[in-house]
Every structure is written in structure tokens, then in C-alpha cells.
């Protein structure tokens, strides 16, 4: 355990084009957002769990499952709204409301229901053992992406990373890590400097493919239900 104050923010917008009302759609008997709320509440490190939304129903469901809530302005609830301003708004609201500072903020997107409290705590353990100030959860990605090319404005090719990788043996290429959207942790002071989740001292926390499944479509939801049913 630690005496650090850690705020978990779960952003849950009401609108969703791909899967309507996605954040409160039923998943194995409870709303999708409830899975992330429960994981945060079960974490041994997280001290405050907040759901940020502009949607009354989502805020009500979040409170029913034990989260505190922050009403998000409509200006921060658009399709094009990035995560960082939403986090900054919720962070400042909670700090003002509770009259306290937090050491870390962790973003837990509700579309990652298979990310568990154990995953969250293991990510914090990794961060605390390092000299980093931020962490992003990832999964292994196919190395062959490093062999691809981009085309510049003149129509000439250049390697996506450099001009050597496209001609190297696959087994000689470095590992490629893809953010899985499940866990983003950063020191509050580092975040507030630029309101970015990534710093020059960001480390990875690798999760398996199963825990990394993200809900974007009905097919994703059905896949996760099958995983839950056999686990």
C-alpha cells in the first residue's frame, strides 16, 4: 500500500454512433461502465473514483455502482473532444470540491471492461518501481508494421520508422507496443504542465490480448461476453 492520493477518472459520454448508449449497455448482467467503476473501487491504490459525463442516466448509473460523479459541460462532450481536457476538467473539479491535491491521476476508459483491479495495481507497482512519471498500458503488436512505407508529398517512399527496418528480417526488428486504451497513469503535476498523458519519461505496462479487448462494436461486446462466460 501507499499513502499517495490517486484519482481515477472514467470518462463516459452519452453519445455513441457505433454502438448507441454504449457506456451503459448491458454486459453480462451489468452496465458496461460498471465494470470499470468496480475495478477502480477494488484497486488497493486508487483513493477516489469519479465518472465524468454530460448524460444524466450515465451519472445516475455510475453513482449507483459507487462512483462519485462530475457533470461535464457539453463543450467537452463532442465526438471530437480529446481525453486530456476531460481529465483536466474532472481533476480540477474534484480537487476544488474535496479541497485536496492528488499525486496521480489514472484514466480508465469504460470500453475496457476486462481490465481488472489486479491489472491496475500491477501497473501502479511497475510505475512505483521506476523513475518514470507516466505509464500507458499496451499489448504486443505485429512487428511487420515496421517494414511499411509512407509516401511523401513528392511521391517518394520512406520507412515508417526509418529506412532500414523495411529491409530487415522480421525477427531482428524491435518489439512494437500498441496502446490498448485500458490504463493511463500520470503524476498530477506532470499532467497539469501541458495537459498531456505522455511525457518523456513514460513507461509501458504490457497486458495480454484478451484483457485488451476494447468495446467499439456489437461484435466486440459479444466477444467479451464469451470471454466472461468461460472465465
Q: What is the pLDDT of residues 22-78, one digit of tens each?
A: 999 999 999 999 999 999 999 999 999 999 999 999 999 999 999 999 999 989 988
Residue in the block written with cell 512494437: 176
- Measured CA to CA, the distance from residue 173 to residue 176 in angstroms comes to 9
Please report the domains of the chain, with CATH numbers, ordered by start residue: 6-139+177-230 (3.90.550.10)
CB burial readout 131-163, b (16+ within 10 A) else e: ebbbbbbbbeeebeebbeeeeeeeeeeeeebee
What ranges make up the beta strands (E) of the chain?
6-11, 26-27, 30-31, 48-53, 68-71, 104-107, 134-141, 149-151, 157-159, 176-187, 202-206
Percent of the chain with pLDDT over 90: 89
Query: How many C-alpha atoms does 103 have within 13 Å on its Cβ side?
Result: 12
Nearest-Å Rg of the Cα atoms of the chain is 19
pLDDT tier for residue 1 given thresholds of 50, 70 and 90: low
Note the pLDDT tens digit of each residue in 125-165: 999 999 999 999 999 999 999 999 999 999 999 999 999 99
Residues in the chain: 231
Task: Measure the CA–CA gap between 151 and 101, rounded to whole angstroms.
Answer: 47
Upper half-sphere CA count for residue 184 (Cβ side, 13 Å)? 20
> Taking CA 93 as the corner, what is the angle to CA 90 and CA 94, rounded to the nearest 5 degrees?
85
CA distances to 7, 46, 47, 74 from 3, rounded to whole Å, are 13, 10, 9, 35
Q: How do residues 76-91 score in pLDDT, each as one tens digit? A: 988 888 999 999 999 9
State pLDDT tens for residues 194-209: 999 999 999 999 999 9
Amino acid at each position: 500500500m501507499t499513502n499517495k492520493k490517486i484519482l481515477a477518472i472514467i470518462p463516459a459520454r452519452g453519445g455513441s454512433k457505433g454502438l448507441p448508449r454504449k457506456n451503459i449497455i448491458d454486459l453480462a448482467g451489468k452496465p458496461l461502465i460498471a465494470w470499470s467503476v468496480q475495478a477502480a473501487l477494488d484497486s488497493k491504490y486508487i483513493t477516489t473514483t469519479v465518472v465524468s459525463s454530460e448524460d444524466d442516466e450515465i451519472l445516475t448509473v455510475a453513482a449507483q455502482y459507487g462512483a462519485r460523479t462530475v457533470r461535464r459541460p457539453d463543450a467537452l462532450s463532442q465526438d471530437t473532444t480529446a481525453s486530456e481536457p476531460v481529465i483536466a476538467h474532472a481533476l480540477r473539479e474534484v480537487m476544488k470540491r474535496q479541497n485536496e491535491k492528488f499525486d496521480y491521476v489514472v484514466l480508465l476508459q469504460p470500453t475496457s471492461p476486462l481490465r481488472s483491479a489486479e491489472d491496475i495495481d500491477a501497473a501502479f507497482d511497475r510505475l512505483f518501481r521506476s523513475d518514470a512519471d507516466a505509464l500507458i498500458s499496451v499489448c504486443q503488436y505485429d512487428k511487420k508494421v515496421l517494414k511499411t512505407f509512407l509516401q511523401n508529398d513528392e511521391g517518394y517512399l520512406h520507412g515508417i520508422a526509418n529506412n532500414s527496418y523495411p529491409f530487415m528480417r522480421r525477427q531482428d526488428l524491435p518489439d512494437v507496443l500498441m496502446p490498448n486504451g485500458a490504463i493511463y497513469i500520470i503524476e498530477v503535476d506532470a499532467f497539469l504542465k501541458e495537459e498531456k498523458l505522455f511525457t518523456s519519461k513514460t513507461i509501458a505496462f504490457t497486458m495480454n490480448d484478451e484483457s485488451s479487448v476494447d468495446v467499439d462494436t456489437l461484435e466486440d461486446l459479444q466477444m467479451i461476453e464469451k470471454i466472461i462466460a468461460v472465465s
